[in-house]
Each structure stands twice: as structure tokens, then as C-alpha cells.
Amino acid sequence: MINAKLVIDGREETSDRSIDVVSPADTRVKLGTIPDATAEQVDEAVKSAAMAFPEWSARPVEERQRALFAASGIIHDLIEEEAPLLSRENGKILEESHLDLEFASGICGYTAEIAPEKLQDTLIRDTGGTTRIRRRPVGPVAAITPWNFPVVLSFMKIAPALAAGNTVVLKPSENSPLVLSKVISALQEHLPPGVLSMVTGGDTVGETLASHSLIRKIGFTGGTETGKKVMASAARDIKRVTLELGGNDPAIVLDDIDLSDETMRGMVKGVYSTTGQVCFGMKRIYVPDQLYDRFVDAFCAAVDEIVVGPGDDPRSTMGPLNNASQLQIVEKILEEATASGASVTTLGRKLDSVPWEHGHYMMPSVVTEAAPHQAIVEQEQFGPTVPILRYTELDEVIRLTNRSAYGLAASIWTSDEDHAFELGRKLDTGSVFLNSHSFTSLDPRAPFGGAKSSGLGREFSSASLDAYTELQTISRRTGPPGPPLS
Ligand code: NAD
């Protein structure tokens, strides 16, 4: 049992109220508790972030860089020990928990590397004088994160925010907070008090934090509806926001796809990784009419290899969903699909020992012959199922992709990569992946984020440092600017 603590101004604190963290693989198993922070504790954490800001932001970037390199090492050293707990609290398989921690360690190291150059002033000198363009930190930041990849999604905000000289108050999801809270506690010895605090609890804690008048920037990952509320909270004080929200990513299969086992396994990863609970997971697959039956057979054969069981059992290749409400959402979407005439094929096998009725389990499935207006096609299912849809004209698929309210990512599956690069430019999404659509598609050197209702702003790359800084112009100009402006 782990009784996590709040981290406020470098101190660990409890609260009068607590929230149980239970295993999604067997809800009879209580893994630990987190404090449900009071409004006063949130206020205290934000005030300590505001107090710590002037000194932290005034430090040379190389000092903050050193702290991030240390954080990278600490997280890396925790991978082996903590990945099993992450699988137990989250539901996802061990490989995915390793990835969560590895990516978090990597993003701290990468951000530390690029920060000094990116944060340098730009100087303009000419006959008229000197202009200095400076990137300065915005102030205390609220980082609010979901449960599917709790560690890396938190450090995609914490790393650039701290590197740029901001201070951070983190609010993780109550559905997968234990490993993250251990990481945040372990980092305290490398940071001055108040630079990185953590308040845990439910949605009210997130709302209190997002609304606090001393917070200058909110980095948020979560559902689109919550993102709208966060934006409304930010509006009161014109806080800056970066929003990474939901997606309904299409995979567009072209008629020259290589239907090999390797391709099919790649596509299956794109749908069923983390039990389908990945923001940029493949959520609908468009297949040319003449290829439809062959594609469905090949895809279903690959899905049928999935083994469902507890995430921390090395034999499992897919764990349970994270929580009861997510399970209900997916069940409802599938019931509606069946009732409207689509066909739902359940595949895979489960481990004998699985306590099925006590966990949030669901077998992987494939939906065929769904109509375009059904929820399984139009909404984000965020679960282990996918509709396979027919098309005859490629232009129609482009139109359907761009008509969606979402625009996180899309993938194109073809043997002709030149054509795919060209096609990718026509899609209204933040990312387009060619012949892959899962974690291997991500490159931390390239910006990641959504168009339309999938978000605002970008994480990863040097764009993440743009997101946690503001430009300031300091100039001494006495004459007209030099050519070509004079
Ligand atoms: P959620 O939106 O319910 O919660 C996310 C976080 O916001 C939690 O910590 C929650 O307590 C907090 N919160 C809730 N209401 C709030 C409010 N009014 N003000 C401030 N904070 C509030 O999301 P979830 O259920 O934890 O995660 C699933 C969703 O996250 C999916 O829609 C998924 O697509 C999305 N997601 C997006 C990305 C991305 O990078 N685009 C990544 C992962 C997950």
C-alpha cells in the first residue's frame, strides 16, 4: 500500500480526505491512497510557486539544465522498479509502462540539451541602434494531466516549463497517480522548495488550480470537453494555455498497401496499444472497397493474437481499461453500433487466471459495415475496438478526415511514400504518419499537437520552449532601422 503525499513548497503533506487507488485488473485490490487536496492547500502550492519563481527564473539556464539532466537520470533509474506498479495502477502492459517512464526520462534530457541555445537572446544591431529579443518565462504554471500516460504527459509540461525558468504545480489524474507521485518526491532534492509542487485529488482540485489568479500558464492534456472548461478558467486572467485533447484519428489505407503480417501487426498496435486509450491511437480505418474483405481478414487475424490479462502479467499483450466509466463509454458505443446494424467481431483470447468480473476488462473487437454517422465512427471511442470503413474515392476520405471536429493525427498506409507525403499535406491534422501509427511514430524533435478540437499549441521539440516563454523586446533605438526597412 502506497499512501502518496502532496508536495507543497518542498514539504510532503497529507489532507483530511483521501481517495483510494484500486487496481483496474481487480478492483478488490487497493494499491494505495492519494490526498484529496483542499482549496487552501492548492492556494498554498500556487503561492509557493509564485514565491520560488523570481529566484528560479533568475538562475543561469545551465543550472536549470543540470537539474533536468538529474531528473532524467532519476526517472531512468526508477524504470525497472516502478514499471510493474505503473501497470498495476493503470492497467496497461509492462512494455507500455516502461515506455511511459523512458519517454519521461528522455524528454527531460532532450529539453535540457536544447534549452540553452533556444533560450538565448536574439540581437539586432544596425545604424539605428540595438534591439534585443528575449524569451522570458511566463510565471507559475499549472500542469494538469490524465491517466493514460501519467508520467510522460506530465514531463512534457514540467521539463520545458522548468528549463525556461517557470515554476510548476502539477495536478495528476486520480486514476493513475502513484508512480508519478514517487517521481515528483524523488526530484525534490534537486530543486529549491516551491519550484515543482504536486496537488492530488479529483476534478475540483484541477479546477481550483486552473482558476487560481497567480497561475500564468496552464499546460493541459485530457478530454476535449475538459479542455474547454480549462480554457474558460484561463480566460478570466488571460492565462496562456497549451491544450492536448482528444482525437479520432483515421488510418487511410491505399490500394497499394503491403498486406504483410508485419504491416498488420503495426496497425494492430496503432489501435490496441494501452487498450485503445491513446489520444493519437488509430480510431477508424478507411479501406478501398476492392480491398475491404482481404484487409478485414488480414487485420482480424492479427487482432486475434492479442492476449488479455492483468497489465503486470508478462503474458498479457493487452490489459484492462483504466476505469469503470471508460469501460461503460466503450460498451455503450459498441451497443449502439450493433443496434444500428454494424457487425462487431470479438477476437483474441484471455488468460485463464483473469478475474474478469472484478476488473475493467474488454476483449478486442473490430466493427465492420458501420454507417458514417454512428458514434463508433464520429466519436473518440478510447477503447479496444475500431471501425473498418469502405471507400471508393480517396477524395471522399480526405473530406471525411477534414470534416471531423478532431484533428490530432492521421496515418497513410501505402507502398508509395512520395504519394503519401503529398496526400499528408491535404489533411487537417497536427501529425500525419506514414506506414506507422503508434509510439514509434513519435519524434520528440518534431512538434506534436492537434488541429481544431484536438488542441491548441504544440509539445515536444523547441516549440515546447516557445509554449512556456514569452517574447520581450528590449531596445535602444535612436535612428531609423537599417536596410531594407529604412
Ligand atoms: P479528463 O479530461 O477527464 O481529465 C484530465 C485531467 O483534468 C485530470 O487530472 C482531471 O482531474 C482534470 N480536470 C477535470 N476537470 C477539470 C476542470 N474543470 N479544470 C481543470 N482540470 C480538470 O481526461 P481523462 O479522462 O483523464 O483522459 C482521457 C482523455 O484525455 C481522452 O479524451 C484523451 O484523448 C485525452 N488525451 C489526450 C492526449 C493528447 O496528447 N492529445 C493524451 C492523452 C489523453
pLDDT band at 479 (very low <50, low <70, confident <90, very high): confident
CA atoms within 13 A on the CB side of 228: 5
Q: Whose CA is nearest to atom 35 of ligand 1?
A: 222
Q: Whose CA is nearest to atom 23 of ligand 1?
A: 222
Under DSSP, the state recorded for 121 is: P
Q: Whose CA is nearest to atom 17 of ligand 1?
A: 207
In this predicted structure, what is the pLDDT of residue 480? 81
Q: Whose CA is nearest to atom 39 of ligand 1?
A: 244
For the domain spanning 2-245+450-473, the CATH number is 3.40.605.10
Please identify, by atom number, the ligand 1 atom nearest to the C-alpha of residue 279: 34
Four-residue CA torsion sign, 90, 91, 94, 96: negative
pLDDT in tens, 363-380: 999 999 999 999 999 999
Cis peptide before 177 (omega within 30 of 0): no
pLDDT at 194 over 90: yes
> How many other CB atoms sit within 10 Å of the CB of residue 62?
10
Please identify, by atom number, the ligand 1 atom nearest to the C-alpha of residue 147: 26
Q: Would you kindly state where each structural domain of the chain is located, as residue ranges?
A: 2-245+450-473, 249-441
Q: Which residue from 99, 107, 144 has its CB within 8 A of the most atoms of ligand 1, so it is best to mutate? A: 144
pLDDT in tens, 245-267: 999 999 999 999 999 999 999 99
Whether 244 sits among the annotated catalytic residues: the reply is: yes
Please identify, by atom number, the ligand 1 atom nearest to the C-alpha of residue 223: 32
CB 193 within 8 A of CB 52: yes
Q: Whose CA is nearest to atom 30 of ligand 1?
A: 222
Q: Whose CA is nearest to atom 43 of ligand 1?
A: 279
- Residue 350 CA to residue 315 CA, distance in Å, equals 10
Helices (H) and strands (E) in the chain, counts: 14, 25
- Residue 399 CA to residue 281 CA, distance in Å, equals 20
Q: State how far Cα 456 lies from the chain centre.
A: 13
Q: Is any atom of ligand 1 closer than 6 Å to the C-beta of 146?
A: yes
Active site residue: 174, 207, 244, 378, which one? 244
474 strand-pairing partners? 132
Q: State how far Cα 261 lies from the chain centre.
A: 29
Q: Whose CA is nearest to atom 21 of ligand 1?
A: 206
Q: Which residue from 107, 203, 236, 322 has its CB within 8 A of the most atoms of ligand 1, so it is best to mutate? A: 203
Q: Is 290 helix (H, G, I), strand (E, B) or coil?
A: helix
- Residue 422 CA to residue 314 CA, distance in Å, equals 41
Q: Is any atom of ligand 1 closer than 6 Å to the C-beta of 173?
A: yes
Q: Is any atom of ligand 1 closer than 6 Å to the C-beta of 424?
A: no
pLDDT in tens, 87-132: 999 999 999 999 999 999 999 999 999 999 999 999 999 999 999 9
Please identify, by atom number, the ligand 1 atom nearest to the C-alpha of residue 149: 43
Q: Is any atom of ligand 1 closer than 6 Å to the C-beta of 382?
A: yes
In this predicted structure, what is the pLDDT of residue 482? 73
Q: Is any atom of ligand 1 closer than 6 Å to the C-beta of 244?
A: yes
pLDDT in tens, 11-37: 999 999 999 999 999 999 999 999 999
Cα 339 to middle of ligand 1, angstroms: 29
> How many other CB atoms sit within 10 Å of the CB of residue 299?
23
How much of the chain exceeds pLDDT 90, in percent? 98
Q: Please check whether the domain covering 249-441 is classified as CATH 3.40.309.10.
A: yes
Query: Hey, what's the cell of 270?
Result: 496503432
pLDDT band at 139 (very low <50, low <70, confident <90, very high): very high
> How many other CB atoms sit within 10 Å of the CB of residue 443?
11
Q: Is 298 helix (H, G, I), strand (E, B) or coil?
A: helix
pLDDT in tens, 276-322: 999 999 999 999 999 999 999 999 999 999 999 999 999 999 999 99
Contacts of 110 (CB under 8 A, 6+ apart): 444, 445
Please identify, by atom number, the ligand 1 atom nearest to the C-alpha of residue 230: 19
Q: Where are the beta strands (DSSP E) in 245-384?
A: 249-253, 282-288, 307-308, 343-346, 349-350, 365-368
- Residue 24 CA to residue 38 CA, distance in Å, equals 26
Q: Is any atom of ligand 1 closer than 6 Å to the C-beta of 169?
A: no
CB 251 within 8 A of CB 441: no
Query: Hey, what's the cell of 5?
Result: 503525499
Four-residue CA torsion sign, 346, 352, 356, 361: negative
Q: Is any atom of ligand 1 closer than 6 Å to the C-beta of 201?
A: no
